Every structure is written in structure tokens, then in C-alpha cells.
Copies of this chain bind each other. A is one copy, B any other.
Amino acid sequence: MGGSVSGRIFRVTTFGESHGPALGCVVDGCPAGIPLEKEDIARDLRRRRPGAGGAMSARIEEDEPEILSGLFEGKTLGTPIAVAVRNTGQRSADYGDLRDSYRPGHADWTWEAKYGFRDYRGGGRSSGRETAGRVAAGAVARAFLADRGIALRAWVSRAAGVEAPAPGGAGFDLDEAERNVLRIPGKAAAEESLRRLAELADRGDSAGGIVSCRVRGLPPGLGEPVFGKITARIGAAVLSIGACRGVEFGKGFAAADLPGSVHNDAPLYPPSVSPPVETEVFKTNHAGGSLGGISTGMDFLFRAAFKPAASIAAPQASVDKRGLPRDISIRGRHDLCILPRVVPVVEAMAALVIADLILLQRCARA
């Protein structure tokens, strides 16, 4: 793992600064023969695009993907799949006054500490726009997973302090999550969140929240022992999304307070026996679909916390390059709450890891 390359077999490289010519990805190691059309990638990129409404960035990007290689007659060739997305909506002039100072909560300071200088135009590669390449690559992974009956769904389970209905709970409605601008699976919670976001917007402030994800249809056996556990791999992938501050699986942090007699998931069938239709293999799923870092075949469940958007309109104290105090008020076109746009990124990252683990699992037995 590291830098802009990720994965062991299903390997993705992303590239692109927020205000450079283009962003994109190259997926190496995708098996040959998977049905994939440009529209599969375009669809996921549209889900990631800035939308309308108070919660959204005002920057308009077409985000039309261009497939540069790897497809032939509607199928993957087994060769690298390169996708580029042009930057067309950027207005670098907006960022000119940030050239010599450091936005609080942003990576301006740390990138300069790391590299000695930085691309000050909109955050360069630490911009949320960097996720376009991830989503394009994730669409390739999703095509591979769909072919095998695996479906990923993420949603906003908390925004601006408002908790959404949980799976299995009253009012939980994933269709609703795709209808409202916040991707919250419950109409009332979405409306309450929007109301609070409007208040924050009035004060020039921003909000964070939590994204939840469910993977359905995973075969048992995915995940490598020790360092390559499915939780470690998915955890790294999700924590690599900008603004992510934590990740938990199954009962997560709440598991710390349960006794073993309650938390332990007991099997109802051995691995060699398929359960009857509509029957679960384990009695409970407190672990969220894995034991010892290897998938059980139950729903794989995790949640990720995201900090509030760092770009706020209200003035903040900072310093400039010479060390002098500088008040900063960010005028650009920014998301007040990035959570709904993070939803497809979380799905993409999980899809990339799972595609990799499926290929690795082919190597587990003689």
C-alpha cells in the first residue's frame, strides 16, 4: 500500500490535481472478459458530482470519463484500464490569495512540510476532487463484483449531528437515500439535517457525519491472515479518503463494552454445508461479516466518521509563509457537508478491496 498505487492484484493508480489538466486512474490486474461500458463509469462519476442545494459545492464539473485503454468490444481485455476526467470547471483565480498562507484544517501546511512547496490551486491532490479517479476505478471493480452477485450500498447515517434510521430499524429506506440530496435513508432525518446545515451555512460554518456501508453477497473466505485481514484492508481504503477520522466494523466501538457471551457469533452450519434458502449461516452478525479477518458470507457492515468540511466562509486566524498572522475567509465553491458525495467514494474503495481479495482467494488452495 502507499502513495497513489493500491492493491495487490487488482491494482489501481490514481492521478491528477484539482486544478491540473485532468484526473483519472489506471486499473492494472482486472481480469479479462468482464462486461464493461463507458456508461458504467460515467454513472458512478455522476453520483460523485456536486449537486444542487445548500449542502453542495457550487463548482460545476461535467466529469465525463474518457476510456483510454483496456476495453475491446464491450469487455475488459485483461490489460490496464486507463480513464481520464478533464478538469473544466476550475477557477484558479479564486485561490490566488491562498498562495502564501495556510487554511486551517487543510493539508496546505503539511504538503509544504513534506515536499518543500505545493500546488496552491485548490489543494492540488489533497482536494476532494482527487476522488474522481477512485470512483472511476471503483466502477471497474463494481462491474467485476456485479458479475459475481456482490452488491455494495453506502449511505449517510449521520449528518450535522442528526442520526438516520439504522438497517433493520423503523424508517430505514435505502431508496429514500438516493432520492434526497443528503443520501440519508429516512425522509425526516434528511429534512432535519438539511435544516441544521442551513443554520451552519448562515454562520459560514460546516458539518461532518458518518457514512455506513453494507456489502451483500460476499463469499466466505475473503481476507488474508495477519496483515491482510478484510477489516484491515477495507479500513485502510476508507481511512485513505480525505477527512475520514475513524472506521468501525459490525458493533465497532460498542463491542468494547459487550461480554463475550453476547458478542460471539455462533455458526448454524459448517462451511461445507450450504444453508437452506433464506437462512443465515450464523445465528447473529455482531462481527459484521468477518471472523479473524476473513469473511463469513454474512452481510459485511462498516461505518466511517468524517470530520466537518475544512473550508468555511467564516474568518479564521492563521499564519502566512513568513510567520505573520493572517485572517482567512474561504470564498471558493465548497461543500458545506461532503458526506453525500463521499457515499460513492466509500463504495468505490470497498469495491476495489473486495475485487482484490476475490482474486487473492483464488490462490489460497492447492
Contact = CB atoms under 8 A, between A and B. Distances in A.
A31 B208 CA distance: 34
Interface stretch (A45-53, A101-109, A170-178, A184-192): A101-109
Contact of A323 (B22, B235, B270): B270
Interface in A204-241: 204-210, 220-221, 223-229, 231-233, 235-237, 239-240
A275 to B, nearest CB: 9
Interface in A95-132: 102, 104-107, 109-119, 124-126, 130
Given A32-B365, A110-B296, A264-B316, 11 more contacts: A2-B227, A3-B28, A4-B224, A9-B9, A20-B69, A33-B116, A78-B115, A105-B263, A114-B364, A203-B261, A258-B307
A165 B345 CA distance: 36
B308 A33 contact: no
Given A72-B119, A78-B364, A13 B32 contact: no
- Number of chain copies forming the complex: 4
A260 B261 CA distance: 41
A75 B270 CA distance: 22
A14 to B, nearest CB: 6
A11 interface: yes
A110 B3 contact: no
Contacts of A15: 26, 28, 68-70, 79-82
A267 B104 contact: yes
A71 B20 CA distance: 8
A138 interface: no
Contacts of A67: 21
A121 B203 CA distance: 60
A244 B220 CA distance: 20
Report, nearest first, the 3 A-B pairs whose CB atoms are least far apart. A107-B292, A2-B228, A246-B248
A208 B252 CA distance: 11
Contacts of A200: 259
17 contacts: A5-B5, A13-B80, A15-B70, A68-B84, A77-B125, A79-B124, A102-B270, A106-B292, A116-B365, A130-B226, A158-B257, A207-B259, A210-B253, A231-B244, A235-B236, A236-B236, A260-B312
A166 interface: no
Given A8-B1, A208-B256, A292-B111, A263 B308 contact: yes
